[in-house]
Chains A and B, each alone.
Chain A
Amino acid sequence: MTTQTWWGEHQFELEQTRRWHLAGLDLQLKRSAQEWHIESYRHPQQNEDEHTWSIEESIENFPESSVLRRYIFNQTHESIMILPALADRSVVIKPIDPLFIPANQSVTLFVSTPLWLKIAINKHEKPLLDIPVIRPTDTWFGSSPIRGEICYATKVFGRIDLGQLPIRAFRAVTPVQIDNHSSQTTPIERINIPTPLLPLYSATDGRLWTPTIAVELTNNGRIPKLRIEPHLHQQAGVATLQNAARVENQDHFNGLFEHFFD
């Protein structure tokens, strides 16, 4: 089953305008002979739970605070790509209810992180625009205000059954497999998902997926072992690559080990 999606390749005639309403982000694209006009307007109060969207052919006037960007070409191409992408910084997820994993237990949590939107002429070129659909809140992830990194924050339920996780257009699912090999119950207060290192896939049911992140907790308060699985979770089914990881360098990944849990 293929569901309609807000991303994909779109054909434009000369002087044609199309408009996207994406959960509090309005986007209007217009093609002229030599330039693309991309106008965007973000509603002052965006809600992370909002997931309605529509694409319209009509032209409406944007509020004064909208931003118009003009991209000048020798000659504009007739198609343009709208692509989903993961966040450009790590995303810290915080379970809404406190979560504990007792000793010698394993669990796979399905968590979701907010999506970005890229507009590009084709998949291989640098995007013209790269913005979050719903701007998440900034947060600090580190042991003190001196050491750590700037991330985005989002609240999640931390579902263990994928069926309970609703399909949401502007969030990507990341399975987090936690194996607690330590002798103590481990509280999961905040988890740092290294989204810039993850590729993004789309499944046939309309969900967007990233590969599984496997975490192994060992004894004596050692740094947890962390790896990104090369394959998608089996529940993702058949999936298509939408966007490669923003950062290819795996060295950066090693630096995140100590910062995975708060």
Chain B
Amino acid sequence: MAKTDSFLDQLINLPVSDKTEGFIIGGLLLAFGYLISHLVTTAFVRTMSQRLTAHQLLVWRRGIFYFLFLLFTISSLHEMGFKISVLLGAAGVFTVAIGFASQTSASNLISGLFLIGEGSFVVGDTIQVDNTIGEVLSVDLLSIKLRTADNIYVRIPNEQLIKSVVLNLTRFPIRRVPINVSISYKEDIRKVRGILLALAEKNVLVLDEPRAQVTVQNFGDSAISLAFNVWTRRENFLDIRDAMQESIKLAFDEHHVEMPFPQISFNTGEMSPITVKLQREQPPTA
């Protein structure tokens, strides 16, 4: 091991061999570095918590911590007697080996950097990935963590997020609430449209602009399908979806608008209705 004459070596003179002393100092430096990085990061978060968003805080916290800890690790390795230039050279060879061995982790890591850089969602947003909907708790280097409505903690690998479609449900302040309404063929569409639009107007949480809309979707087998779209603030989405559907049912009952069940019409091919005869069962004779 090369003889080091650093400030620390001069300060600390342990009754052990130089090599052991180097390892002890290096170890102490590593522990000290971890502590310092942690303290600096905590102090930064406390100072800036009012000015930055939760997502920015998370990125800064990680960045500062890893940067400081890396510096301490390098100087600790130096204290231990490793030559950094040799290590970096060796790392080049190792990277290939490690790259093959930890392909998934590396892929997640790089995907994580892209995710953070892309900014499609931030901590606090509600996103949907495949069938999972949840609030983003943290965006880390290997995975993101979500909290679902059932209060379940979900970890999704970054690689999966990069590859799949991610829906950010809270990106914009307002959302459209789509409601499908089926009415019987005998109903007057104009009357139903009037009823639905009046319901939207009555509810103060439904936005006045963009306006509510009723459009005829298609003529189904047993019903006319209408699409009733109203807009609301994103935080009221679930309440409005519930409240509007309930009020539609009540209003339809009040105005005798029929919401049909699936039904099938039979005919015999001669366009004349099938005659149905009711036969009363004869009481048994004694």
Contacts and interface: CB of A to CB of B under 8 A. Distances in A.
Partners in one complex: yes
Interface of A: 45, 92, 94, 135-141, 145-146, 148-150, 153, 190
Interface of B: 172-174, 201-202, 204-210, 231-233
Given A137-B204, A150-B174, A145 B210 contact: yes
A143 B193 CA distance: 27
Contact of B209 (A136, A146, A153): A153
Interface class of chain A by DSSP: strand
A138 B173 contact: no
Nearest to B203: A137
Q: Most chain-B Cβ atoms within 10 A of its Cβ — which of A135, A138, A139, A145?
A: A138
A138 B233 contact: yes
A45 B204 contact: no
Contacts, number: 42
Contacts of B205: 138
Contacts of B202: 45
26 contacts: A94-B208, A137-B204, A137-B206, A137-B207, A138-B204, A138-B205, A138-B206, A138-B207, A138-B208, A138-B233, A139-B207, A140-B174, A140-B207, A140-B209, A140-B210, A140-B231, A141-B209, A145-B172, A145-B210, A145-B231, A148-B173, A149-B173, A150-B174, A150-B233, A153-B207, A153-B208
Contacts of B173: 140, 148-150
Given A140-B231, A145-B174, A135 B204 contact: yes
Q: Most chain-B Cβ atoms within 10 A of its Cβ — which of A45, A92, A139, A141?
A: A139
A137 B208 contact: yes
Nearest to A139: B208
B62 to A, nearest CB: 29
Contacts of A146: 172
A156 to B, nearest CB: 13
A89 to B, nearest CB: 11
A138 B172 CA distance: 16
A137 B209 CA distance: 10
Contacts of A135: 204
A223 to B, nearest CB: 21
B107 to A, nearest CB: 33
Contacts of B204: 135-138
Contacts of A92: 208-209
A23 to B, nearest CB: 15
Given A45-B202, A137-B204, A153-B208, 11 more contacts: A137-B208, A138-B204, A138-B205, A138-B207, A138-B208, A139-B207, A139-B209, A140-B174, A145-B210, A148-B173, A190-B209
A92 B209 CA distance: 10
Contacts of A137: 201, 204, 206-208
Contacts of B209: 92, 139-141, 153, 190
